[in-house]
């Protein structure tokens, strides 16, 4: 791989890659995303490679092992380009037939999507209900990219935005573009990214840091991993552009230790980017230096909180600091540090490449662009979904998600994991919007959308999230550690049929102090799921408590209860 020394050389390389590829040649993309991998997609991939290998170097078809396609429920997923023929639940035994038919330009009918009610078939991605209602600006490229090959990213236009930023724009212009686009943080805070960048940029000091938060600890959220594992370069490109805008020369990727595939792909991407001169010293001959190092969380939710994350990078226990010490001013080693989520960084190349005006044309007044959503729980089509902001939740759950599994009715949807809230199905027409959902008490958070069916015990769900947080909090401050402990006790008693009169008042009181007095966002929002339950499902709580105080002491019901 030759090092690139200019934007022109980058374009020449890209042209060379494209001209060496035949766009009409069928390409079999096998998904190796987390769920497909768990369904043994590697055997499918191996079978394809063996089968195509038999055809020799002039085979009329090629195989590409890619990251997450998104339709996790129906894995192992295979998409045959260029027409994007989608095959589902593929097994190694299906492989010879797929290869044979593909070479003949035919479709394997039995493996395509068939509507569960009507039997109607959909062959191409644009026809499959799960995909056709989405706007896959970020995750769409996953089917075209082998994460271990940077050339695949270049083939879809990768790093053109970086070249534009470095050579046609000043750092201030890049910053202005991101501010104009009103890109809001995708990690849970929804804070305007441009403003955060500006604070770090203007903070005193020469050393500034940029950080990718790839921790994704929120239970039920898996889209960051799907994006980062499947297209690491998109995130890296966004990071380099951000570093240029802010004036940072050192970046950190903070991710989980428990996904070997993710780690391998990140390391490979960084190495290949460096080989091409897209990372490191004198990027593309621009004079801009930037290097990246990778750090790991080894298993605690609180280290996804930005100030705790920074302590962890320093090698210290992950205890958050209060927000009056802004990390964009004093972060890692007290230097200005700009932290953003994986998905936030992934949005940057397209904002720079296609312009803020284009970006701001997608979404609502307050929430721009598209959002990745991890759709799971009691839903028919679980997977990674990408829709424009403002999309009604009904569309996501029913049109894309296929409704509730098992023919049951939906009861509620939950956003934001342990720091979010549940809303009843009667509010399912609410738009996917930071502010609108926050007003309803179910803030988007990272984007994990949990569908809950009619058998779900809403007391148990609140109890579950609180139990999760009591195990995942750092334990430093009293209202979080003790407040959650006491709240959990009350909820556990209620679910065990030992509710007492006055429990709801007790819960509200505890919630009040926990929400006001905790040191960090984990503690302050720990009371939010319960708050939403008491707002929308109070009668269910009262019923369970009454059952207890009448001495009936029956066990809680629900698909999830013990």
Partner 1 sequence: MDSAKIDQIIEKHRGKSGDLIHVLMEIQHQNHWLPRDVLHKVAAALDIPFSRVLRIATLYKTFSLTPKGRNEVHVCTGISCHLRGANKLLDAVERATGIKPGETDADWRFSLETGSCLGSCSIGPEIIVNGTHHARMTPAKVEDVLKEYP
Partner 2 sequence: MSDVVMQIDGKEVKARDDMTVLQAARAAGIHIPTLCHHDKLEPFGACRMCMVEVETRGRKNYVVSCLYPVAMDLVVRTRSERVDKIRRVILEELLAHAPNSPELVALAREYSADRDRFDKDPSFCILCGLCVRYCAEVKQKNAVDFIERGARREISFIPEIAATECWDCQECFALCPTSYAQAAFFLTEALAFPGRRKASAKRMMTVKLPSMQRCDAQPTRLSNDRRCDCSKPAS
- Least separation in angstroms between residue 506's CB and partner 2 is 9
- Least separation in angstroms between residue 552's CB and partner 2 is 22
List 36, 477, 494, 521, residue binding partner 2 (CB under 8 A): 477
Nearer to partner 2, 386 or 472 (CB): 472
Beta bridge partners of 340: 212
Parallel, antiparallel or unpaired: strands 410-415 and 448-453 = antiparallel
Parallel, antiparallel or unpaired: strands 85-87 and 113-114 = unpaired
Crossing angle between the packed helical segments 160-168 and 342-354, to the nearest 10 degrees: 60
Question: Are the CB atoms for 258 and 219 separated by under 8 Å?
Answer: no
Contact letters for partner 1, residues 246-285 (x by CB under 8 A): -----------xxxx-------------------------
Question: Are the CB atoms for 42 and 90 separated by under 8 Å?
Answer: no
List 57, 315, 407, 551, residue binding partner 1 (CB under 8 A): 315
The stretch near partner 1 (CB under 8 A) out of 290-298, 354-362, 482-490, 517-525 is 290-298
Question: Are the CB atoms for 248 and 23 separated by under 8 Å?
Answer: no
Crossing angle between the packed helical segments 458-472 and 538-549, to the nearest 10 degrees: 90
d(CA 25, CA 60): 7
- DSSP symbols for 7-46: HHHHHHHHHHHHHTS-TTS-EEEEE-SHHHHHTTHHHHHH
Q: Would you count residue 485 as binding partner 2 (CB under 8 A)?
A: yes
Token pair for 15? 């042209």
Parallel, antiparallel or unpaired: strands 250-256 and 383-388 = unpaired
- Least separation in angstroms between residue 415's CB and partner 1 is 12
Q: Name the binder of 37 from partner 2, partner 1, none, CB < 5-8 A by kind.
A: partner 1
Q: Would you count residue 309 as binding partner 1 (CB under 8 A)?
A: no
Nearer to partner 1, 41 or 370 (CB): 41
Contact letters for partner 1, residues 18-57 (x by CB under 8 A): ----------------xx-xxx------------------
Q: Name the binder of 298 from partner 2, partner 1, none, CB < 5-8 A by kind.
A: partner 1
End-to-end CA distance of the chain: 57
- Least separation in angstroms between residue 116's CB and partner 1 is 16
List 176, 207, 509, 540, residue binding partner 2 (CB under 8 A): 509
Classify residue 13 as exposed, middle or buried by CB count within 10 Å of its CB (0-12, 13-18, 19+). Answer: middle
Token pair for 327? 């990390």
- Least separation in angstroms between residue 470's CB and partner 2 is 5
For partner 2, the binding residues in 310-349 under the rule CB under 8 A are 317, 322, 324-325
Q: Would you count residue 209 as binding partner 1 (CB under 8 A)?
A: no
> Residues touching partner 2: how many (CB under 8 A)?
31
Q: Would you count residue 121 as binding partner 2 (CB under 8 A)?
A: no
Residues lying near partner 2 in the complex (CB under 8 A) are found at 300, 317, 322, 324-325, 469-479, 481-486, 489, 509-510, 512-513, 516-519
């Amino acid at each position: 791989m030759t090092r690139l020394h200019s934007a022109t050389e980058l374009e020449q390389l890209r042209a060379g890659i494209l001209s060496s590829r035949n766009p009409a040649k069928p390409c079999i993309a096998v998904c190796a995303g987390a769920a497909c991998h768990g369904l043994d997609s590697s055997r499918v991939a191996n079978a394809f490679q063996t089968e195509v290998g038999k055809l020799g170097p002039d085979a009329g078809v090629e195989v590409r092992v890619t990251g997450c396609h998104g339709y996790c429920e129906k894995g192992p997923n295979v998409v045959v380009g260029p027409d994007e023929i989608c095959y589902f639940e593929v097994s190694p035994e299906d492989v010879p037939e797929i290869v044979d038919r593909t070479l003949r330009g035919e479709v394997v009918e039995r493996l395509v999507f068939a509507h569960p009610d009507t039997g109607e078939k959909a062959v191409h991605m644009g026809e499959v209900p799960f995909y056709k209602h989405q706007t896959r600006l970020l995750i769409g490229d996953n089917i075209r990219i082998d994460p271990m090959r940077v050339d695949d990213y270049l083939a879809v236009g990768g790093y053109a935005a970086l070249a534009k930023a470095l050579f046609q724009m000043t750092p201030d212009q890049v910053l202005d573009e991101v501010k104009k686009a009103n890109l809001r943080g995708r990690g849970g805070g929804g804070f305007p990214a441009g403003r955060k960048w500006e604070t770090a940029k203007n903070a005193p000091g020469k050393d500034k840091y940029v950080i990718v938060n790839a921790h994704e600890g929120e239970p039920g959220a898996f889209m960051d991993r799907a994006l980062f594992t499947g297209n690491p370069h998109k995130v890296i490109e966004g990071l380099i552009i951000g570093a240029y805008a802010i004036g940072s020369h050192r970046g950190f990727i903070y991710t989980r230790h428990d996904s070997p595939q993710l780690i391998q792909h990140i390391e490979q991407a960084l190495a290949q980017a460096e080989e091409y001169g897209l990372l490191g010293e004198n990027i593309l001959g621009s004079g801009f230096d930037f290097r990246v190092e990778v750090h790991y969380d080894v298993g605690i939710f609180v280290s996804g909180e930005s100030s705790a994350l920074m302590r962890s990078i320093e090698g210290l226990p992950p205890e958050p600091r209060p927000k009056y010490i802004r990390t964009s001013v004093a972060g890692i080693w007290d230097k200005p540090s700009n932290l953003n989520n994986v998905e936030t960084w992934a949005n940057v190349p397209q904002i720079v490449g296609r312009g803020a005006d284009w970006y701001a044309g997608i979404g609502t007044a307050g929430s721009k662009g598209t959002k990745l959503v991890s759709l799971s729980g009691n839903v028919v089509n679980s997977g990674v979904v990408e829709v424009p902001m403002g999309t009604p939740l009904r569309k996501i759950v029913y049109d894309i998600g296929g409704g509730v599994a098992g023919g049951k009715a939906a009861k509620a949807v939950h956003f934001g994991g342990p720091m979010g809230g549940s809303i009843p199905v009667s509010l399912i027409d609410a738009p996917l919007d930071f502010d609108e959902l926050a007003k309803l008490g179910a803030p988007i958070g990272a984007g994990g959308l949990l569908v809950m069916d009619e058998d779900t015990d809403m007391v148990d769900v609140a109890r579950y999230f609180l139990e999760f947080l009591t195990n995942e909090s750092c334990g430093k401050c009293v209202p979080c550690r003790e407040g959650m402990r006491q709240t959990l006790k009350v909820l556990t008693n209620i679910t065990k049929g030992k509710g007492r009169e006055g429990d709801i008042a007790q819960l509200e009181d505890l919630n009040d102090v926990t929400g006001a007095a905790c040191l960090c966002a984990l503690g302050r929002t720990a009371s939010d799921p319960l708050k939403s339950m008491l707002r929308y499902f109070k009668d269910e709580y009262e019923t369970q408590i009454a059952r207890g105080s009448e001495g009936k002491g029956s066990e809680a019901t629900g698909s999830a209860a013990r």
